[in-house]
Amino acid sequence: MARIVAGVGTSHTPAIGAAVDNGKAGQPYWLPLFEGYEPAKRWIAETKPDVAIVVYNDHVNAFDFKIVPTFALGCADEFPIADEGWGPRPVPVVKGYPELAAHLVQSLVLDEFDMTIVNEMQVDHGLTVPLTLLFGTPQAWPCRVIPLAVNVVQYPAPTGRRCYRLGQAIRKAVEGWDEDLKVVIFGTGGMSHQIQGPRAGLTNPAFDKTFLDGLSQDPQRLVRIPPIEYLREAGAEAIELVMWLIMRGALGEKVEEVYRFYHIPASSTAVGHIILECR
């Protein structure tokens, strides 16, 4: 049986990818951040997942506004790297798992989550920066990846409760796949940040800490946070944190927090990271 064994929450700030790609990771501005991810790199090297389900959002790269899917599951056998305006990131192409993705779609739709099926899609920093943070700069990514793109760009994003329930349905779907697979699910984006308008640069470490605590101890409190609270307290783009609730929902009731890291700044964002193992 396939099993979700752990969840990873992490920011996906594009400047982090650019720092690695341009050889700046050792500079004083960036060093504390990358040092903070070293234990995570060791953890994932030991965990050796076969598949990563990466919950992220596209940033007007795969999807313009012709079609705005709330939940889109990548069912292709590979996903090219998007040119976001300065050339594609020099990272390996992302290999999918179309058989498992097709199974997930079928299970999720019957569980009343109407997924958009995506058979061709480029992936942007939202997906590739978390891979870089956890896996570094390999010649090929060490596991297969199923992208789950969530609309958090055009308001409203799906609610936290809806996201949590989708995670629960993903857990059930994965367990319905008859192959001995270790699956890790990533919830990405956040943490507090605002990257638009005169209020840009907003961060809220107290909000972020409460959110990280809630993930490990009381996710039911987090699913009740209304959208306005993310926007007002943690910045217009902090609504991305609902994607972490998909990850948390997919882990089952009991988890153990095995690592946490928090750092300000990466460009305009507060960077948060948590690893939760299923118990």
Partner 1 sequence: MGKPKMVLDQTYEDIPGTWIFDAQRARLGYHLNEFLYSLMKSSNRKEFLADERAYLMKFKMTEEQREAVLKRDWNRLLELGGVSYALAKLAFTDGKSYQWMASRMTGMTEQAYVDMMLKGGRSPDGWRSKSERRGKR
Catalytic residue check, 273: no
Query: Minimum Å distance from CB 248 to partner 1?
Result: 24
User: Could you give phi then psi for residue 38, rounded to 5 degrees?
Assistant: -60, -45
Measured from the CB atom, the residue of 120 and 155 that comes closer to partner 1 is 155
Among 2, 15, 127, 245, binds partner 1 (CB under 8 A): 15
Helices 98-110 and 160-175, axial angle in degrees (round to 10):
120
Measured from the CB atom, the residue of 5 and 195 that comes closer to partner 1 is 195
The long-range contacts involving 253-260, CB below 8 angstroms and separated by at least 24 positions, are 254/278, 254/279, 255/7, 255/216, 255/279, 256/216, 257/215, 257/216, 258/6, 258/43, 259/39, 259/40, 259/43, 260/212
Is position 21 an interface residue for partner 1 (rule: CB under 8 A)?
no
User: Could you give phi then psi for residue 71, rounded to 5 degrees?
Assistant: -130, 120
Is position 194 an interface residue for partner 1 (rule: CB under 8 A)?
yes
Among 199, 218, 224, 256, binds partner 1 (CB under 8 A): 199
Measured from the CB atom, the residue of 87 and 112 that comes closer to partner 1 is 87
Binding string, residues 88-127; x marks residues near partner 1 by CB under 8 A? ----------------------------------------
DSSP code for 238: G
Among 234, 242, 246, 250, binds partner 1 (CB under 8 A): 234
Exactly one of 12, 103, 125, 273 is catalytic; name it.
125
Among 35, 48, 201, 256, binds partner 1 (CB under 8 A): 201
Catalytic residue check, 263: no
Q: Point out which span in 91-99, 100-108, 134-142, 187-195 binds partner 1 (CB under 8 A).
A: 187-195
Among 77, 114, 200, 217, binds partner 1 (CB under 8 A): 200
Among 23, 46, 87, 180, binds partner 1 (CB under 8 A): 87
Q: In terms of Cα–Cα distance, which of 54, 53, 51, 55 is closest to 70?
A: 55
Torsion of CA 259, 12, 243, 111, to 10 degrees: -100
- Alpha-carbon distance of 240 to 270, in angstroms, equals 12
Among 16, 81, 255, 270, binds partner 1 (CB under 8 A): 270
Which two tokens mark 142? 């060490």
Q: State the DSSP H helix or E strand holding residue 109, giving kind and residue range, or none if neither.
A: helix 98-110
Instruction: Check if the beta carbon of residue 241 is closer than 8 Å to that of residue 214.
Output: no
State the amino acid at position 239 in one-letter form. Answer: I
Known catalytic residues are 125, 193
Name the site residues for partner 1 (rule: CB under 8 A).
14-15, 29, 59-61, 64-65, 68, 82-87, 153-156, 192, 194-205, 227-228, 231-237, 264-265, 267-268, 270
